[in-house]
A and B are shown apart, each in its own frame.
Chain A
Amino acid sequence: MLHTLSIGELGRSLDSGQISSVELTRHFLGRIERLNPALNALITLTAEQALATAAAADARRAAGERGPLLGIPLIHKDIFCTDGVRTSCGSRMLDNFVAPYDATVVARLKEAGAVMLGKANMDEFAMGSSNETSYYGPVKNPWDTTKVPGGSSGGSAAATAARLAPFATGTDTGGSIRQPAALTGVTGVKPTYGRVSRYGMIAFASSLDQAGVFAQSAADAAIVLQAMAGFDPRDSTSIDAPVPDYSATLNAPLAGLKIGLLREFFEGLEARNSALIHEALTIYRNLGAQTVEVSLPHLPLSVPTYYVVAPAECSSNLSRFDGVRFGYRCEKPKDLLDLYTRSRGEGFGAEVKRRIMTGTYVLSAGYFDAYYLKAQKVRRLITDDFRSAFGKVDLLIGPTTPTPAFAIGAKINDPVTMYLNDIYTIGANLAGLPGLSLPCGFVDGLPMGLQLIGPHFSEAKLLNAAHRFQESTDWHRRSPPGYER
């Protein structure tokens, strides 16, 4: 049962020669072949390349090289550019786009010896909370294939939950790692803005986008984040600060840890969801942590603020998809305007167009001050709220999502209801804070997530708190029915 082992256990098996990376890779490729058709989690398979990389990893190991990810398979969200491999971003616009270079995240994991099995489905250009906006069709939740896996990193989440790979990469602009992690019962980490390079990660909203990881546990996530994090001179917003040893502090005691309960997160929270969070708090108290209630008065403004800032940036970021140099181009354009309007009109899906239009509107002359500028001011207030909260507590805790996974098709025609799915996750993005979602129980047989948010660069503390919780619980070890084998 190779797919139930942790990355640490797999590494030891590889080091001892019990298994080879090629065997491990074949095992997961076999699972993908068998299980992916029902999930649609992967949209590109790189089996041949994976076996070659695995063979190379085995050779590196034979030559004496060691490394926690050397020979460990993974799946990349299709938002990361992968040299020589199609990078679609879930869009018809890039259906034919083969990236000519590796994103920094991809290059670092490659350097560490990780083996890419394929690319994961996602909401188009990472715009969505259900993975239903993908050009390649929705991803199914392995816990119930009539349900969404969340989004936008729905493919990465579903693949990790179904054990199609030991881990997967994702990106989180408004909750796109934490929300699907919660809805599929895996551990998802969104690092501090600037902790992981954005170079080669196709931009949605540049001031909010952050790459992160999906894994079976906080301990596995610590290993992966270690390889991904660090300064990149090609990303001016990446931060030149040392990366701590995330695995080293996983077992640190939690005695004296001050955990803040976000009052705004519990107001109106559904009772069964609330009960799970309170059970989690009991565990933390048993581990020696103190819990205090804190208030972030501007936090309820997160969603409207986000839906001004993110569309504004995306309307500009997506201008480069014009049918001129790469990507989709309409048939027989009559003239330049026709080339632009039809290439973009046919290449982008409805949600992407909605956000480009919203963003264009809020940046327009006469509306800029009322929308964009005001949103930036509120963003500052939300950031200040978090800062003052972290003057009192070490971590904030609350639910990741308001509800468990919802049915495919239930919200796709109601954007505002869909947007409210990210009500608990968006605040961390606006303030650039690290956040983590870990499984904390079930509602209606579907997994729910507990969210931890910390001050800037507190990933080690978040992973430590999550790991200690996971040592006391087994929610993260539950496998969706039918995917155990």
Chain B
Amino acid sequence: MIEWEVVIGLEIHAQLATKSKIFSGSATAYGAPPNTQASLVDLAYPGVLPVLNAEAVRMAVKFGLSINAEVARRSVFARKNYFYPDLPKGYQISQYELPVVKQGKLAVMLEDGAVKTIGVTRAHLEEDAGKSLHEGLGAGSGIDLNRAGTPLLEIVSEPDMRSAKEAVAYMKKIHTLVRYLEICDGNMQEGSFRCDANVSVRPRGREKFGTRAEIKNLNSFRFVEKAINYEVSRQVDLLESGGTVVQETRLYDSDKDETRSMRSKEEANDYRYFPDPDLLPVEIDEAFIDAVRATLPELPDDKAARFARDFSLSAYDAGVLSASRELGAYFEAVVAELSAPHGGSAGNAERNAVHAKLAANWVMGELSSALNRDNVDIAVSRIAPAQLSGLLARIVDQTISGKIAKEVFEAMWSEGKTADAIIEAKGLKQITDSSAIEGVIDAVIAANPKQLADYRSGKDKLFGFFVGQAMKATGGKANPAQLNELLKRKLGGGAQDA
């Protein structure tokens, strides 16, 4: 049996977050009533001309610098000619032979923790098309040209990915990057970030690529993974049953979870690319590049490395916490607050690492699940970093246990008060007074003579039963370590008596 190797390349379309369109002054905001953000230029009226939005170029250069790519000193806009109602000029202005961003590369962490470098062939600027509307218009169709002329950065990868999961990891990494750079809002529901996947298979060990199919317009990470997996099995089935894969464009139907042929290579348009005579070549000099470089934020990989180094976090935790600028900033704020009152002086490295790990666990755990559950963005989290650190401080100083802390967290999330106020109001302060705990333990032992006898005759598992009973009696407030220790002594002490 042949072992098949999957080969995937992605073309990601990131909508650039400029205020106005790439060749006109119209706004790019999403969701306006149809055709209210379409100027004469967007409508391709006779006589109008495009004027390049410099901000789009700046954003493209920013991306190029972030993947260590060469920024072209001279790039050229070309016309891609085809007829479609949502393409008012009858051509799309794009970059063809001379893109603004040349070869770059990106390190992507895979699920098993391994890091793989994916090549980025190029990234070029182009304009988006409008949208055809078919619903609620009777027999006819409508066209909304609000999106026509919205700037896109098309990021083309090398065929370097070998599984759907790798493709998703790469796409997520680009997604993280463009949001870090603040050049794309990354909103996939609104189509601000989407991709086409080129998929082929070949017998493992063969150098020559198989014939590829291009799956168009995938707008969620889940769809990318499912569409690629479907397409791989379709191609493998086809080849194993003696068929051949044809080069074609396919569409993914998420309802049926399958890809369908859209058009074959023979039916493909001849786009008749040629340089757009209405636009001058884009000339970029060192000063421009230096100015853009100065605006680069700390990049995700750098931030992750710093988190791992400064906070002794695992590579995995550091990676998760640096997945967005907002998450990283939140985490850092919590750690800073938590460490601040103690001075954070030399010699406290170990304690700081404990704080960081605690903060990491809570940010990635309780906080992230609460944000996800209620669909809240971390930038407007109901619990501010200072509030969360206030809660974690009470764990550190043993005022409450981790278990009680979760209860406090929920109350903070719904009521918005500080941890201290909730602990006070609900009387959740941890019991650390040994004599008080001992009193509770004595009462529990006295009330459960049979279990005591069983335990002492060797049923060690009953230890947990006593812990539970004692905790219940204190409303969960007993310091767990103290409780364990005292209980062990009392139960064991009985055994010594026997």
Q: Which residues of B contact A97 (CB under 8 A)?
A: 46
A364 and B47 in contact (CB under 8 A), knowing A206-B278, A319-B89, A322-B90? no
Interface flags, A96-107, vs B, CB<8A=1, else 0: 010111010000
A319 near B90 with CB under 8 A, answer: yes
**A336 CA / B85 CA spacing, docked (Å):** 8
Chain B residue with the shortest CB-CB distance to A203: B47
Main secondary structure of the interface of A (DSSP, over half): loop
The interface bits of chain A over 289-311 (1 if a CB of B lies within 8 angstroms of the residue's CB, else 0) are 00000000000000000000000
B395 at interface, CB cutoff 8 A: no
A322 contacts which chain B residues (CB < 8 A)? 83, 85, 90
Question: Does B143 touch A at the CB level, under 8 Å?
Answer: yes
A316–B47 CB distance below 8 A: no
Q: For chain A residues 189-220, which have a beta carbon within 8 Å of chain B? A: 198-203, 205-207
- Our pick among B46, B50, B279 for the contact of A326 (Cβ within 8 Å) is B46
Closest A-chain residue to B82, C-beta based? A319
**Does B280 lie at the interface of the complex (its beta carbon under 8 Å from any beta carbon of A)?**
yes
| B-contacting 9-mer, from A131-139, A147-155, A232-240, A445-453 | A232-240
**Contact B46–A363 (Cβ < 8 Å):** no
B40 close to chain A: CB less than 8 A? yes
1/0 per residue A360-372: CB within 8 Å of B?
1001110010001
Contact of B280 among A80, A205, A236 (CB under 8 A): A236
Check if B81 is an interface residue, CB within 8 A of chain A: yes
Known: A206-B277, A313-B277. A326 touches B90 (CB 8 A): no
Q: Does A324 contact B (CB under 8 A)?
A: yes
The answer to whether A320 touches B88, judged by C-beta atoms less than 8 angstroms apart, is: yes
A201 to B46 CA separation, bound complex (whole angstroms): 8
* Contact residues of A between 320 and 334, Cβ < 8 Å to B: 320-322, 324-327
B46, A234: Cβ atoms closer than 8 Å:
no
Q: Does the CB pair A319–B272 fall under 8 Å? A: no
Expressed in whole angstroms, the Cα–Cα distance for A22 and B83 within the complex equals 48
In the complex, residue of chain B having the shortest beta-carbon distance to the beta carbon of A360? B272
Asked whether B266 is an interface residue with its Cβ less than 8 Å from the other chain, the reply is no
Do residues A207 and B277 form an inter-chain contact, with CB atoms below 8 A?
Answer: yes
Size bracket, chain B contacts: 20 to 34
Is the Cβ of B46 less than 8 Å from the Cβ of A316?
no
Do the beta carbons of A236 and B83 come within 8 Å of each other?
no
The residue that A316 contacts in the complex, of B40, B45, B79, B280, with Cβ under 8 A, is B79
Complex CA distance for A321 and B278, rounded to whole angstroms: 18
A100 to B278, CA, bound (A): 21
Judging by beta carbons under 8 Å apart, are B51 and A320 in contact? no
B contact face: mostly helix, strand, loop, or mixed? loop
Could you say which residues of chain B place their CB within 8 Å of the CB of A368? 272, 274
Report how far A237 CA is from B276 CA in the complex, Å: 11
Give the number of residue pairs across the A-B interface with Cβ within 8 Å: 96
Does residue A457 face the partner (Cβ distance < 8 Å to B)? no
Task: Provide the B138-166 mask, 1 if CB < 8 A to any CB of A, else 0.
Answer: 00000100000000000000000000000
Residues facing B in A225-245 (CB within 8 A) are 233-237
A312 interfacial by beta-carbon distance below 8 Å: yes
- A97 to B280, alpha carbons, bound, how many Å? 30
Contact of A101 among B40, B274, B280 (CB under 8 A): B40
**Who on chain A is nearest to B46 by CB?**
A202
* Chain A residue at smallest Cβ distance from B41: A234
* A221, CB-defined interface residue at 8 Å: no
- Report the minimal beta-carbon distance from A322 to chain B, rounded to whole angstroms: 6
C-alpha gap A205/B45 in the complex (Å): 16
Which A residues lie within 8 Å of B91 (CB)?
A: 316, 319
Question: When the two chains form their complex, are residues A236 and B49 in contact, meaning their CB atoms are under 8 A apart?
Answer: yes
Contacts of B48 in A (CB 8 A): 199-200
Q: Find residues 38-84 in chain B having any chain A CB closer than 8 Å to their own CB.
A: 40, 43-52, 79, 81, 83
In the complex, the chain A residue whose C-beta lies closest to that of B43 is A325
Q: Which residues of A contact B278 (CB under 8 A)?
A: 203, 206, 236-237
Q: Is A81 an interface residue (CB 8 A)?
A: yes
- Asked whether A320 lies within 8 Å of B49 as measured between CB atoms, the reply is no
- 13 pairs of residues in contact across A and B, judged by CB atoms under 8 Å: A89-B46, A100-B40, A206-B278, A236-B51, A312-B274, A316-B79, A318-B90, A319-B90, A320-B89, A325-B88, A326-B46, A327-B46, A364-B270
A-B residue pairs, 7 tightest by C-beta:
A319-B90, A363-B272, A207-B277, A206-B277, A200-B47, A320-B44, A202-B46
* Residues of chain B at the chain A interface (Cβ within 8 Å): 40, 43-52, 79, 81, 83, 85, 88-91, 143, 270, 272-274, 277-280
Besides the known contacts A99-B45, A203-B47, A327-B46, 4 further A-B residue pairs in the complex with CB atoms under 8 A apart: A200-B48, A206-B278, A325-B45, A364-B270
**A→B interface (CB under 8 Å):** 80-81, 87, 89, 94, 97, 99-101, 103, 198-203, 205-207, 233-237, 312-313, 315-316, 318-322, 324-327, 336, 340, 360, 363-365, 368, 372
